[in-house]
Amino acid sequence: MAAQQAVVARIAPVAEDVVALDLDAADTPLLPWTPGAHVDLTLPNWLTRQYSLCGDPGDATRYRVAVRLDRLSRGGSEYIHRFLRAGRPLAVSAPRNHFALTPAPGHLFIAGGIGITPFLSMMDAIDDARLIYTGRHLGAMPFAADLRERHGDRVRIVETERDGRPDLRQVAAELAPGTLVHCCGPAAMTDHVQKIFPGVRLERFRPQPRTHRPNAAFEVLCARSGRTLAVPPNRSLLDALADEGVAVASGCREGVCGSCELRVLDGEPEHRDDIGAPAGRMYACVSRALGPRLVLDL
Amino acid sequence: MHRVAPDEVRARIGEPDALTRMKKFGHIDAHVRRFIAHSPFLTMATADAAGNADCTPRGDYPGFAKVLDERTLAIPDRPGNKLADSFTNLAENDGIGLLFLIPGMIETVRVNGRAWVTDEPDVLARMQTEASTPMLAIVVEVAEVYFHCGRALLRSRLWDADSQALAAEAPTMADVVADLVGGDVETITKHVRAGYRELF
């Protein structure tokens, strides 16, 4: 994925354990994005992390993301909160959108905590969209006041410590036909929402735990170069390609971010990602092959 | 060979100056925390009950050693040679000495303390890389932290690009294995390289 250069302009607290990170264009304007898009940030400690863009999609001089400090941080959110400094150049990927808005008679957005970030620009984009935003209490809910101010009654704030969880079955019962539901939040929330709104579009923080059939070896033909290589059971497709010097961009390496998307020309992939690969595409970090062979556009 | 008595050693070296003594802390302060967060490599020294000592390298992404609080560190156990020398030593003698390095930086950080082994899920969760989570981690209760000056790394030209020419003259792992068990160096080199692909 093509990287862009940006500079950390500002890191400022916006709620308990949440900072907003402003990234300014270094030399050339930043690539455009649409509501729901995210970028990969490559941090100085070599870790790559995905964050939803939550600034103004029309602003090519600045990206904004918001980052919650994870108590069990492996070094991404901890680094941003504790060690990242203003003025530091950062590589930022081109924006990608697996959570895009599509036309529908109505839109309902359901956000939990830091899962609010993709919905900030989505609320601006759709005049009659409604938002249910839950969090423990107001102090831990970034942008809550701002959302109420901009969108008034279209935003329902639920403080679970005071109000308990929202009655989503009630919400579902009253939903106008054809309403498209988007949800972003912690796993407990996305799992619950999926049961009540079967057609919901989800964005998860972490991959969904799942079981796969045992890894099998398969063969890959790189159609453009004509090279054939073997993917052993204990190597990912991404790593097997790298072993043979076929560099493929990668980000999360756990099937969430979409950086390592490849075009499949023949053979049937075994999809193991959390994105939902479009037809004829696969994500090399986690997905494998159902049959003995794949032909890839490489 | 003449052995210099301990008090004679002190007499010949002299006493450390005030600033040097000040750089010794009893805890991990903000600077040392920042240093450790940028260090991808450390050496770990342990010894058994009889005082037989050992030093091993540990490395991963910068900040792989996690500062849990200002008196506690945790270091993941990644797959290695399975000799488990450090674990065996720590079972008998919990003393530990760590030296943290940052590529390009001549100063190093020394951390000494007492260590034990944990499988605490909340600690291991912080050490996940890509698809793997370590099974064990070494917890270090910090007794002494020291910001070490850069003279040794300056003299050794450790980070000079030109210094890397030395590696071409050193014995390779394959040379060593070939002498031990026989076999041709080229085949062994392939095996060694294949093994190095399995980093996690």
ipTM attached to this prediction: 0.86
| Separation between Cα atoms, residue A178 and residue A169, nearest integer Å | 16
Q: Where are the domains of chain B?
A: 16-157, 170-200
- Yes or no, beta carbons of B61 and A47 under 8 Å apart: yes
| Separation between Cα atoms, residue A215 and residue A205, nearest integer Å | 25
For residue A35, the domain's CATH number is 2.40.30.10
Read off the pLDDT of residues A283-293 as tens digits, 9 standing for 90 and up: 999 999 999 99
Residue A250 lies in a domain: yes
What is the nearest CA distance from B60 to chain A, expressed in angstroms? 10
For residue A234, the domain's CATH number is 3.10.20.30
Tokens read off for A73: 């941080």
Closest Cα partner for B36 from B9, B61, B2, B6?
A: B61
Flag whether residue B62 sits within 8 Å of chain A, measured between CB atoms.
yes
A12 and A54, same domain (yes or no): yes
Q: What's the half-sphere exposure (Cβ side, CA atoms, 13 Å) at A15?
A: 21
Residue A100 lies in a domain: no
A74 and A116, same domain (yes or no): no
Read off the pLDDT of residues B145-181 as tens digits, 9 standing for 90 and up: 999 999 999 999 999 999 999 999 998 888 888 888 8
Residue of B nearest to A75 (CA): B63
Q: Determine the pLDDT at residue A217.
A: 93
As for how many domains chain A has, the answer is: 3
What is the nearest CA distance from B53 to chain A, expressed in angstroms? 31
Phi, psi of A110 (to 5 degrees): -125, 120
Whether residue A9 contacts residue A95, with contact meaning beta carbons closer than 8 Å, is answered with no
Torsion sign over Cα A132, A138, A140, A142: positive
Whether residue A290 contacts residue A215, with contact meaning beta carbons closer than 8 Å, is answered with no
Domain end, chosen from A46, A69, A93, is at: A93
Q: Determine the pLDDT at residue B192.
A: 80
Bridge partner list, A283: A261
Quick one: average pLDDT of A124-146?
Answer: 96
Closest Cα partner for A18 from A186, A187, A160, A140?
A: A140
What is the nearest CA distance from B121 to chain A, expressed in angstroms? 10
Q: Roughly what angle, to the nearest 10 degrees, separates helices B173-181 and B185-197?
A: 120
A235 and A196, same domain (yes or no): no
What architecture is domain B16-157? Roll (2.30)
Phi, psi of B45 (to 5 degrees): -105, 130
A174 and A236, same domain (yes or no): no
A117 and A184, same domain (yes or no): yes
Q: How confident is the model at residue A209 (pLDDT cuts 50, 70, 90)?
A: low
Read off the pLDDT of residues A61-95 as tens digits, 9 standing for 90 and up: 999 999 999 999 999 999 999 999 999 999 999 99
Flag whether residue B63 sits within 8 Å of chain A, measured between CB atoms.
yes
Domain end, chosen from A181, A204, A227, is at: A204
Helix or strand (DSSP H, E) at A146: helix A144-151
Question: Beta strand A261-266 with A293-296: parallel, antiparallel or unpaired?
Answer: antiparallel
Range of the domain at A245: 218-296
Residues of chain B positioned with their CB less than 8 A from the CB of A44: 38, 62
A86 and A117, same domain (yes or no): no
Whether residue A92 contacts residue A23, with contact meaning beta carbons closer than 8 Å, is answered with yes
A78 and A126, same domain (yes or no): no
Domain end, chosen from A204, A238, A270, is at: A204
For residue A161, the domain's CATH number is 3.40.50.80
Please check the confidence at residue A240 and state whether its pLDDT lies above 80: yes
| Separation between Cα atoms, residue B6 and residue B91, nearest integer Å | 29
Residue A230 lies in a domain: yes
- DSSP letter assigned to residue A115: G
